[in-house]
Amino acid sequence: AQSVAQPEDQVNVAEGNPLTVKCTYSVSGNPYLFWYVQYPNRGLQFLLKYITGDNLVKGSYGFEAEFNKSQTSFHLKKPSALVSDSALYFCAASYNTDKLIFGTGTRLQVFP
């Protein structure tokens, strides 16, 4: 079955340190991959997507994500975390359809 996994419920990082939020996807065709962010009491905002080409994708607010086909992963990264990056992050995939399959979300806490 097609699925997206975010193995960490929460990630804690100190401000200024690099951050990584992990995502893996099931191998069933070649999905397109997305990251979204949700701030408190808000809807989801699109951050970036991988369609094809360069494995390192750059997105909004200084975020980037690395596509790794052999490990079926699409981890979200940022070189230097900000307190304002604290939010809920969702990874999602589309498998030959316009519908998205979402992971369960990872809460990122950035401490001053």
**What are the residues binding another protein (CB under 8 A)?**
9, 32, 34, 36, 41-46, 49, 51, 90, 94, 96-100, 102-105
Q: Are strands 10-14 and 106-111 parallel, antiparallel or unpaired?
A: parallel
Q: Is the CB of 8 or the CB of 15 nearer to another protein?
A: 8
Q: What is the DSSP string of 54-84?
A: -SEEE-GGG-EEEEETTTTEEEEEESS--GG
Neighbouring C-alpha atoms within 13 Å toward the C-beta of 39: 6
Burial of 84 (0-12, 13-18, 19+ CB in 10 A): exposed
Q: Is the CB of 23 or the CB of 81 nearer to another protein?
A: 23
* Residue 19: CB minimum distance to another protein, A: 20
Q: Is the CB of 97 or the CB of 112 nearer to another protein?
A: 97
* Residue 15: CB minimum distance to another protein, A: 26
β-pair partners for 111:
14
* Residue 92: CB minimum distance to another protein, A: 8
Q: Is the CB of 17 or the CB of 69 nearer to another protein?
A: 69
